[in-house]
Amino acid sequence: MCGITGFFGRVDDPLQTINLMKGAISHRGPDSSGYWISENNELAFGHQRLAIIDTSVNGHQPMESHSSRYVIVYNGEIYNHLDIRKELNQLSNNSIKWIGSSDSETLAVSLDFFGIEQTLKKCSGMFAIAIWDRHSKVLTLARDKIGEKPLYYGWVNDKFVFGSELKAIKEFPGFSNKISRLALVNYLHLNYVPTPLCIYDGIFKLTPGTFFEFNANQSSNQLPDPQPYWSLRDTVKKNSLVPFDNEDIAIEELEKNLEKSIASQMLSDVPLGAFLSGGIDSSLIVSLMQKNSIEPIKTFTIGFQNKSYDESSFAADISDYLGTDHTTVKISDEDTLSVIPKLGLMYDEPFADSSQIPTFLVAKEAKKNVTVALSGDAGDELFGGYNRYTHTRHVWNSISKIPFSFRKKLAQFALSIPIEKLDAGNSFYSKFSKNQIQHFGSRVHKLSERLTRINSLKELCVDLATNWAEPSSLVKGIKEIADDDLVLSAYEFEPNLDDISNMMLCDAITYLPDDILCKVDRAAMSVSLEARVPFLDPDIISTAWRMPLNFKIKNKVGKKPLRKILSKYIPSSMIERPKSGFAIPIGEWLRGPLQEWCEELLDERTLINQGFFNISPIIEMWNQHKSGKHDWTPKLWGILMFQLWLKEHHPEI
């Protein structure tokens, strides 16, 4: 795991420039640093290394291929690089004289034999790569299939730049790119800036599964579109047409591929462990890790002193059962609150998934003991784990029977009931029922707010992925924008898939890379920890999408294949409980210990002077939230995270 950066174009001092750029992302790779500058001083690569495989100087980057045709700078891990080496040895009749054992060298040599596109297709792993072809004089940027590793690129002062994080790009001389109003609208829509947009005009995020070619004749007014070498949508369409007809065979295939993926991702020359929340996904990953390990696996959990949000005891019980070497750190509200001021710098763009806070805390704790940690991310998107997958159809079947006009009035009435009263009613009801619904009042408000405008199951599925329904009305300096300008254009439903499966596919294309994987990457890399995601192995993705929806979700319970496999290692009674996610009481804190901080960021005069927002809806929402009349946590957190980002990155505004 590393940080990469570079530029194409003449500057006064290329060495100083590339040193500043790579220095800005030294947290991504503190073990060593390197650079390469072309003979004519027009192209420069910078690299910060977090040494994982072959920690010797033999893995140093930037690196040349054995033929010297290609120069690469690379961030990530190629889990099947030993298989690629074996193939290369066979093709060369074992004539290759390998310098070391790093996957970087495997990648460089593969380019000599297979070229760029075929090499990318062969790679199973997470990566962002820059490749200079000395023969064709073309610079190629490439990103892994799902988007685990970030890669930004674009123009600064008519010079082409790229980097793992915007911190590097902003160190390029004369950076003054304006904040993108279109990106801001999309951010408010989703609480993250979706690919390919970036918060700055002229800069983009490379789409997962694509590569981008740049040459010296490229104009700053236009860049060619990235070219796909792999497509999740095509993979899903292909595999859904050949579904498993036997559930046991499907689960057997999944378990085999999971064990293979985890084994490949446990390869490391530095200490390795895993995040263990006590949920289905992380428990399954840890179970299979421990099954294939002689030594106890190091596992890590964050616990909260606020018992309403603390699930660390579940993780501890699972650890005891499996025999892992477990660490639980109890975090106070004060500890958690102290992270919030750091978020504006940790995330280069506005980012408003509040689970970013506990994710950082568990990564920080893990880094004290290991350099690599496996996580259970992506299990929800592949196997139907989110409540919106398991309950949406049933909810819609009930509410669609009510005429829209009357349904809208009922929703408005529900919104008039304070969250606290709805929660109190749920607590009273739960005394006579086994069904305890967590955060009941908040969920009622969220659903009711949507039902004032939703009139079909597809509309509901799409709307559940959004935050502000009409964000363009909130942003100054931009007229109402077309649907194609919103990420909802990516929410294209496939005709051969049902609405819930389409919802899962669209989440995997957008929400997974731009929210979940971004959150994990920035949090982990801020403390120089490599996070790996076994569920994103291509064979697991293919297997998951050969499973019909009724294999994944039954009786409003998702992830049935994962539960079935996990039951071989852990008693079902230890894991069958309501899903809560990585929750913290942000909404309560905004009314309590964070209220003064909120008032400062949402100061009316400041908002007016900044000139980004029509402030009336924001102030009204903040007042309603403070009073407890409504819970507007996701919307307010989005505004607050933009304001914090603006304060940290542009204090002059």
Residues marked as catalytic: 2
Q: What is the DSSP letter of 226?
A: P
Place of tokens 């100054």: 476
> Distance (Å, rounded) from C-alpha 214 to C-alpha 194?
23
Token code pair at residue 96: 């290759």
Give kind and range of the element (H or E) at residue 274: strand 272-275
Query: Rounded to the nearest 5°, which phi and psi values hold at 339?
Result: -75, -30
Strand-pairing partners, residue 632, are: none
Token code pair at residue 232: 């999740």
Q: Residue 175 carries which side chain, given as an amino acid letter?
A: F
Please give the order of strands across the beta sheet that includes 203-205: 32-37, 43-49, 2-8, 159-163, 152-156, 203-205
Is the torsion defined by CA of 551, 554, 560, 564 positive or negative?
negative
> Distance (Å, rounded) from C-alpha 382 to C-alpha 504?
7
- Of 247, 260, 39, 230, residue with least CA distance to 143: 230
Place of tokens 């495997």: 106
Token code pair at residue 542: 């293919």
Token code pair at residue 210: 């694509």
- CA distance between the termini of the chain: 35
Please give the order of strands across the beta sheet that includes 63-64: 63-64, 70-78, 125-133, 138-143, 210-215, 227-228
Q: What is the DSSP string of 243-288?
A: --S-HHHHHHHHHHHHHHHHHHHT--SS-EEEE--SSHHHHHHHHH
- The answer to whether residues 103 and 53 touch, using CB atoms and an 8 Å cutoff, is yes
Strand-pairing partners, residue 329, are: 302
Q: What is the DSSP string of 553-569?
A: -BTTB--HHHHHHHTTT
Report cis status (omega within 30 of 0) of the bond before 196: yes
> Distance (Å, rounded) from C-alpha 82 to C-alpha 124?
11
Q: What is the DSSP letter of 364?
A: H
Q: Which are the contacts of 491, defined by CB distance < 8 A and separation ≥ 6? A: 462, 465, 506, 510
- The answer to whether residues 437 and 443 touch, using CB atoms and an 8 Å cutoff, is yes
Residue 78 three-state SS: strand
104-107, long-range: CB within 8 Å, 24+ apart, which pairs?
104/59, 104/61, 104/63, 104/72, 104/74, 105/54, 105/58, 105/59, 105/63, 106/78, 106/81, 106/82, 107/72, 107/74, 107/78, 107/81
- The answer to whether residues 369 and 273 touch, using CB atoms and an 8 Å cutoff, is yes
> Distance (Å, rounded) from C-alpha 205 to C-alpha 485?
15
Place of tokens 């093709």: 91
Give kind and range of the element (H or E) at residue 64: strand 63-64
Q: What is the DSSP letter of 408?
A: H
Place of tokens 């009711």: 448
Tally Cβ neighbours within 10 Å of residue 99.
16
Tally Cβ neighbours within 10 Å of residue 434.
5
Length in residues, the chain: 653
> Distance (Å, rounded) from C-alpha 261 to C-alpha 534?
6
